[in-house]
Amino acid sequence: MNYFSSDFKLGILGGGQLGKMILTETRKFDIQTYVVDPSTDAPCRFGATKFFQGALTDYQTVLDLGSQVDVLTIEIENVNLEALEALEEQGKKVYPSPKTLRLIKNKGNQKDFYIQNNIPTAPYKRFATLEALKSEVKNGSVNLPFVWKATEGGYDGNGVKVVRNAEDLNILPQTECIAEMMIPFKNELAVIVARSASGEIKSYPVVEMEFHPEANQVEYVICPARIDENISQKARQIALQVSEAYNHVGLLAVEMFQTQDDEILINEVAPRPHNSGHYSIEASYTSQFEQHIRAILDLPLGNTDSKVAGIMVNLVGEEGYSGQVIYENIEKIMAVDGVTPHIYGKRETRPFRKMGHVTIVNENMTEARKIAQQVKETIRVISK
């Protein structure tokens, strides 16, 4: 099929920053795009060929978009799967498939899937209700502390909480959840795997993630991870095993823990472009967003190697500020060699909201990390 400068239409469910960065690549290739998002001021509203406002969980909205396009993809998992299944039955190409999304969307199902497929993951228990969890904590069959996760709807650190004592349970929402054993780990790592519709598969180098202690959000993504080569090989191998098990098409971001004794445990996955791959826009031969398009259109996959060391710094709303966004000192960081800001196009800031990211590239990883720190301490996302 001729995708380029033709009548071919790619549909994207979700119009956030990931969609916006996908659109950079579709515009490079001159591919028509139809995007739907619930927000009138979604980041994708200017870049798409056609932009529609609508709820991604609404059956008819998803069906309508799918009926207008040749291939349908997502930039967020929380979409109406029944509509995707109906479209697939009609012969529409939907990547990742609703079957893959069903396995991944619920974190409890995700954890069960790892056990069924002999993929190493932290021990856990599933609970249909918060009350059921509370009673097991009370009778001592769940040990404190543990990590509480809502099985559905979590994002950017929401839906995850470290429970250190029984009182912490009182502020949690009434929802299906899992209680996961706290793993003492050396590093949080991630590997992005690309898999095309015909089964070609490639993985990106292992990245290391440094987290904000309170917000449970990634502050720095460092590529390559500062780990031994044999750990790196093991992480990439397990990521490929996960990819094969899910049989996904497109990108799969595989988040992992490196334990104190160098075991690799799967934390969770995302079947789409991911925060842990943003560094690739400047630092890789093929960015994760271009690779996603190559994979879902069954084009040859690009080179996943890095050209240079890359660090990504998340730009999130400062605490104490809500309203019309201002990026304070952005010109100061732009004066530094190898620094590229990406502004997502969200007009309103609020505490810890993801508003953009900055990539730092440098031949020298130590120098790159220093500059990343400088960037983090200089730029502030505030409001009027």
Q: Which residues are annotated as a binding site for ATP?
A: 107, 149, 180-183, 188, 267-268
CB-based contacts of 17: which residues, under 8 Å, 6+ apart?
A: 43, 344, 345, 346, 354, 356
Q: How far is CA 229 from the centre of its chain?
A: 25
Residue labelled with tokens 């060699």:
337
CA dist 67 and 60 (Å) reads 10
Strand order across the beta sheet in which 177-181 lies: 124-127, 177-181, 146-150, 160-163
H or E segment at 356? strand 354-362
Q: Enter the tokens of residue 177.
A: 């959840």
Amino acid at the residue 277:
G
Structure tokens at 302: 């690009």
How many CB atoms are closer than 10 A to CB 136?
15
Query: Whole-angstrom Cα distance, residue 208 to residue 217?
Result: 13
Q: What is the DSSP string of 5-28?
A: TSS-EEEEE--SHHHHHHHHHHHH
Query: Nearest to residue 316, comparing CAs of 155, 186, 160, 79?
Result: 155
Give, in degrees to the nearest 5, the angle at Cα 381 between 377 and 384. Answer: 130
CA distance 95 to 16: 18
Q: Which amino acid is at 73?
A: T
CB 167: neighbour CB atoms within 10 A?
A: 8
How crowded is residue 363: how many other Cβ atoms within 10 Å of its Cβ? 9
Q: How far apart are CA 76 and CA 108, in angstroms?
A: 18
Do 23 and 46 form a contact (C-beta atoms < 8 A)? Answer: no
Tokens in use for 193? 């795997």
Bridge partners (DSSP) of residue 257 are 188, 265
Which residues are documented as binding site?
Answer: 107, 149, 180-183, 188, 267-268
Task: Determine the Cα–Cα distance for residues 278 and 290; give it in Å rounded to an integer.
Answer: 12
Q: What are phi and psi of 301, to 5 degrees?
A: -75, 145
